[in-house]
Amino acid sequence: MRIPLLARANAGTLTVLIALSAVACLLVAGLPRATQASFDEALRRSLTTAPAVQTDLTVASEPRSPEQDLHERGQFASLYPQWRQIVPAALRPLLAPTGHMSAKTSRTPVAGTSGRTYINLGWLSDADQRVEWVRGRAPGPLSTTRHEGETIPLIEVGVVEEAVREMGLGIGQTKVLGESDYVAVKIVGLFKAKNPDDRYWSHHADVLHVSRQLPPGGLDFEYHVTTVMSDAGLTALSGESRHLTYRWVLPLDGRAASALAVPDVAAAVTELERLMPVQVVSPSPHRLDTGLPNLLGDFSAALASAQTVIFLALGGLLAVALGVIVLGVRLLTDRMEHPLGLARARGGSLRQVAGAGAALTALAVAPAALAGYALSFLVPGPVLPVVHAGPAVVVVTAVVFAAVRVSLAHRTPLHERRDDVAAARPSPRRVTLEVLVVGLALAGAYLLRERGLSQDPFLLLVPVALTLAAALITLRCYPYPLRLLVRLAGRGRSAVPFLGLTRAARARSASGLPVLILLPALAVSVFATVISSGIASTQVRASWQQVGAPIKVTSVGEIQASVIEKVRATDGVEQVVVAQTGRVQLADVPEWAAAIAVDMAQWQRLVAGTPISLPTLSGDTSALVSPELRGRGAFEIGWLGRPRLTPQGVIDAVPGFWSSGKFIVMSPSALPRLEVNTLLIKGDVPLAELARMVPASTVDSQERALAVIREDPLTGAVRSTLIVVTVALGLYALVAVVLSLVVGAADRTRAVSFLRTLGLSERQARRLTVLEVLPMVLVTSLVGLGLGLGLPAALGPGVDLSAYAGDLPVGDYSPDLLTPGALAAALIVAAALGAYAHTAIGRRRNLGAVLRVGDST
């Protein structure tokens, strides 16, 4: 066979096949890289934005005897290399070059304060690099002093500036610590962090800030602060007399993390916990403190949901792309049918004929696949196995289909067939297989709803099976209503409707291929559109749930009335609702709950027209309680007095404040006075201006919360992938419609030409072509549209998308029919225009060039 001659004769078809193959390979190889890059970025952002105390590997030891005490920096430093040495290989790329060490006491009371003031002793190995002394000097050597007739150690320390305001500490003060084994500290300097935003300080928040703690059953706060001392102070610390903890911190650099390595990293952390007691010689027992497994677990759960949605979309895209390429290969083999049949009749073997069809297909598909594969490397992201496998699947599918189809078409020389006379009956084997596919699809959908994807990853094939089942049912059932229309058309006076619908109902079995392409394309694209719309609407609702108002201002202290009036008078502010929040004690028992005192009627007016709704609260002493406080009857709370509240109802969440735990919503009139510390604001006003007006406050807005949710890399990966898949599938569907018209063009032209010899007009020819082509596209579009709208509701319970919607479950799949309807309408219009164009082109052909001798007699 002369392959170059065949290629030159079918240059147009080969060009279409080349374009389809190149684009398909670019998509199937490029999109996985892009999505995996988004996954990696999401993991890196999760690790770099989380507090370092959660991500870093911290080795902790609590000495209990003098033999276990470490009194010199060198003793700490000698152990640090041992911790790094036993870190498993999967964790080593994530370790930062340097770490730090610390020694701290906890709950060290100041003598004579009745346990209300605690000054803990702290040593940081890199304090000189982290703090800046603003007053006084850095701590110096250890000395002694007298207390109650005994000589005790005197340690020079520095404290954070905040301790001066909160605890009344100052330079020159000497405090005796302990209840029996005393030690004295002398404050010689005040410091502040050189970079208070450094993630390093999450390990030492007790050094940088004074903490207030309310003990169980108590009404007075305890004040805690941790000082900073020099290396000399280590000699006075002993675990025998103090609650002492040593720590070696191995920082993690999240910028080197990869989502593909998450399982290995999680296993490495577990292995490190096992190795520590047996691989390192240390004077005291030690443990590994890290929140990394929890972070990786949360990320893995969110990643699994993202992969589920993306794999469903990409799987549908690959299936449709392969179907369109197969349709293009079918067009090529149809165009080669005459020369190949002639070669077969002249003695060519079946192997030679099939080899020629496969070789010509490979000549077009292989270079195009290689070009698409090469272009995919322009997309940033790791190279996954699917990047290599996808283009190979495209080439193999196209070549194998060409070889098989040519082999079946030319089993015997000069094999004549006419499948347009009557519809072929499917074999019992084929009917059984189709029934089995439909049954498995329905059973899989039920299991997916009941068990979810986490129980069985093979359920990922369920959506594909559902679309295939719907396509098979459509393929088998759509001729029956057409036959009813044929009977009705047969009673009319015009022959065109009868002939057009008859040809549509008696379509060749191979014409089902466009159905198997169009229906998944429409279903998956509509499914992607509905899922994307559901995520977007839930994100908006989640942002309102997080903030509770267009703008929320929360202050650490009371907001004065003059400041509130100033806020009300600011340009752009439409409404301000004041509230007081805090923790309250329930009755006389050591039980605590969160509470908010707010005018619910004003709050309801402020959020009118938003996705959140608020219950009604009537009565000065009425309250709404959380489910945990249900059924208690009237109760007292300790909050600016002892108001007695009567539960009026149960509320599951308070938008902007709490969604779980114990909480109370009450009227401001139940309190003796309202100490406002929260403002709920409606209007358009710069957040920075509000932060300036209300000192020591945090300003949140619904728009900012929504932006944070949408900027998450995983969320962006899901939505961008769905958008790309929707557009690609829409284009593929249009290409499938055009190719289906071209594939049947020869038979259709021959039939129309034959009817023109019997007096068929050009206008009637156009109507006939439209009636032949349009029913298949119309029925398939409607079924695909319905399936795509139903898939989210059918599969929704098995796919958790809350990680991309502000942790709210995505259950509102209200269909937005604009995009799906436009896509279905575009396919129908394209089919109608293609039919008209086909008739116009066929009109210019000479009947003698179409009909053979004897066809018109």
pLDDT in tens, 518-545: 778 778 778 777 877 888 888 888 899 9
| SS3 at position 503 | helix
Q: How many CB atoms lie within 10 A of CB 324?
A: 27
Q: What's the CA dihedral at 744, 749, 752, 754 to 10 degrees? A: -120
Model confidence, pTM = 0.76
State the pLDDT confidence band at 769, using cuts at 50, 70 and 90. Answer: confident
Which has the closest alpha carbon to 189: 200, 173, 203? 173
Close Cβ partners of 23 (under 8 Å, ≥ 6 residues apart): 321, 372
* Residue-wise DSSP of 32-59: HHHHHHHHHHHHHHHHHHS-HHHHSEEE
* Listed range (274-278, 624-628, 812-816) with the worst mean pLDDT: 812-816
Burial 60-74 (b: 16+ CB within 10 A, else e): ebebeeeebbbbeee
In whole angstroms, give the CA distance from residue 102 to residue 62: 12
Length reported for the chain? 857
In whole angstroms, give the CA distance from residue 177 to residue 709: 47
State the pLDDT confidence band at 851, using cuts at 50, 70 and 90. Answer: low
Across the range 696-719, mean pLDDT stands at 85
Q: How far apart are the first and last CA of the chain?
A: 36
Across the range 262-267, mean pLDDT stands at 92
State the pLDDT confidence band at 664, using cuts at 50, 70 and 90. Answer: very high
| SS3 at position 159 | strand
**pLDDT at position 303 over 70:** yes
Close Cβ partners of 630 (under 8 Å, ≥ 6 residues apart): 647, 650
Average pLDDT, rounded, for the chain = 83
**pLDDT at position 176 over 90:** yes
762-795 and 818-843 helices cross at what angle (nearest 10)?
A: 160
In whole angstroms, give the CA distance from residue 192 to residue 595: 34
Residues facing residue 592 across a β-bridge:
585
Q: Does residue 641 come out as left (phi exceeding 0), alpha (psi in the -120 to 50 range) or beta?
A: left
Show the tokens assigned to 592: 């605590």
Which has the closest alpha carbon to 103: 119, 124, 89? 124
State the pLDDT confidence band at 713, using cuts at 50, 70 and 90. Answer: confident
**pLDDT at position 834 over 60:** yes
Instruction: Note the pLDDT of residue 799.
Output: 65
Q: How many CB atoms lie within 10 A of CB 494?
A: 10
Check residue 144 and report its DSSP letter. Answer: E
In whole angstroms, give the CA distance from residue 7 to residue 396: 19
Q: Which helix H or strand E contains 8, and what residues bound it?
A: helix 3-9
Residues 635-653: tens digit of each pLDDT: 888 887 788 888 888 999 9
In whole angstroms, give the CA distance from residue 148 to residue 17: 96
Which has the closest alpha carbon to 99: 118, 124, 120? 124
User: In degrees, to the nearest 5, what angle opens at C-alpha 426 toward C-alphas 422 and 428?
Assistant: 145
Burial 570-599 (b: 16+ CB within 10 A, else e): eeebeebbbbbbeebbbeeeeebbbbbbbb
3-state helix, strand, coil split of the chain in percent (to 5) is 55, 15, 30
The backbone torsions φ and ψ at residue 445, rounded to the nearest 5 degrees and listed phi first, read -60, -40
CA of 663: how far to CAs of 632, 638, 651, 655, in Å? Answer: 13, 14, 9, 12
The answer to whether residues 317 and 524 touch, using CB atoms and an 8 Å cutoff, is yes
**pLDDT at position 554 over 50:** yes
Who has greater pLDDT, 495 or 9?
A: 9
Residues 782-827: tens digit of each pLDDT: 888 888 887 777 666 666 677 777 777 776 666 667 777 777 777 7
Q: Which helix H or strand E contains 666, and what residues bound it?
A: strand 663-666
In whole angstroms, give the CA distance from residue 333 to residue 340: 9
Residue ranges of alpha helices (H) inside 376-409 are 385-409
**pLDDT at position 246 over 90:** yes
In whole angstroms, give the CA distance from residue 156 to residue 136: 12
In whole angstroms, give the CA distance from residue 6 to residue 406: 14
State the pLDDT confidence band at 66, using cuts at 50, 70 and 90. Answer: confident
Show the tokens assigned to 535: 């995520």
In whole angstroms, give the CA distance from residue 769 to residue 307: 44
Which has the closest alpha carbon to 660: 554, 545, 556, 551? 545
What percent of the chain is predicted at pLDDT more than 90?
32
CA atoms within a 13 Å half-sphere pointing along the CA-CB vector of 199: 16
Residues facing residue 211 across a β-bridge:
224
Across the range 739-746, mean pLDDT stands at 72
Q: Please name the amino acid found at residue 571.
A: D
The backbone torsions φ and ψ at residue 427, rounded to the nearest 5 degrees and listed phi first, read -75, 155
Who has greater pLDDT, 455 or 54?
A: 54
Residue ranges of alpha helices (H) inside 478-609 are 479-490, 495-505, 512-547, 561-568, 600-606
* Listed range (218-227, 290-299, 681-690) with the worst mean pLDDT: 218-227
Instruction: Note the pLDDT of residue 599.
Output: 92
Close Cβ partners of 782 (under 8 Å, ≥ 6 residues apart): 824
CA atoms within a 13 Å half-sphere pointing along the CA-CB vector of 128: 6
The answer to whether residues 680 and 612 touch, using CB atoms and an 8 Å cutoff, is no
In whole angstroms, give the CA distance from residue 836 to residue 831: 9
What percent of the chain is predicted at pLDDT more than 70?
87
The answer to whether residues 746 and 842 touch, using CB atoms and an 8 Å cutoff, is no
Instruction: Note the pLDDT of residue 745.
Output: 66
Instruction: Note the pLDDT of residue 847.
Output: 52
Check residue 846 and report its DSSP letter. Answer: -
Q: Please name the amino acid found at residue 537.
A: S
The backbone torsions φ and ψ at residue 48, rounded to the nearest 5 degrees and listed phi first, read -85, -25
CA of 135: how far to CAs of 63, 171, 347, 695, in Å? Answer: 34, 8, 103, 25
Show the tokens assigned to 15: 């060009």
**pLDDT at position 502 over 80:** no
Rg (CA), the chain: 38
Which has the closest alpha carbon to 623: 606, 598, 604? 598
* Residue-wise DSSP of 288-351: EE-SHHHHHHHHHHHHHHHHHHHHHHHHHHHHHHHHHHHHHHHHHHHHTHHHHHHHHHTT--HH
Instruction: Note the pLDDT of residue 849.
Output: 52
Who has greater pLDDT, 444 or 666?
A: 666
Three-state DSSP string of 187-235? EEEEEEECCCCCHHHHCCHHHHCCEEECCCCCCCCEEEEECEECHHHHH
Residues 139-167: tens digit of each pLDDT: 999 999 998 888 999 999 999 998 998 89
